[in-house]
Amino acid sequence: MTRWFMNLKPGVSPRTHLLCAALLWTIIGLFLIQRGIGYLMKDQQLLLIFAAILLGWLKSRYVLDRSAERGVERIRHFADNTCIGAVYSWKTWMLVIAMMLLGLLVRNSTIPAYIVGVVCVTIGWALIRSSRFSWKAWFTCKMP
């Protein structure tokens, strides 16, 4: 039974894990920016987009960059055929789920749309900017 289960495991190379990490941060970042700009355009708060980008740059620099670097280092120590889900630890996956639920609550709350928009653009820009560590590691990683 164990052997059968192991054959179903979607194991990939460390290089593929790096690509997945980079794509996840980039795609989620783009999604959040798109959503945030939608909120800000609705309230005609264009200047807040630039403020949110600055805040996102700061969040990336002082919070997410360290996390992104640790994630890349963690992936570099993976053996070939490590499960694709291991791209993030269980703790990180739980944090992602918690952030998704928090986002759902915020969007359905009475918080003004322009504040939700600033938060979305800030987080989105921070994710995209910090994804550079995974992208760089993926580009410089030797082919499997």
pLDDT digits (tens, 9 = 90+) for 58-113: 999 999 999 999 999 999 999 888 888 888 888 888 988 999 999 899 889 999 99
Confidence of residue 4 (pLDDT cuts 50, 70, 90): low
The closest of 105, 83, 103 to 95, measured between CA atoms, is: 103
Q: How far apart are CA 112 and CA 60, in angstroms?
A: 24
Domain ranges of the chain: 13-76+87-138
pTM of the entire structure? 0.87
Residue 138 CB partners (closer than 8 Å, separation 6+): 15, 18, 19, 22
Q: Using CA of residue 136, residue 140, residue 142, residue 144, what is the dihedral sign? A: positive
Give the number of other Cβ atoms within 10 Å of residue 94's Cβ.
11
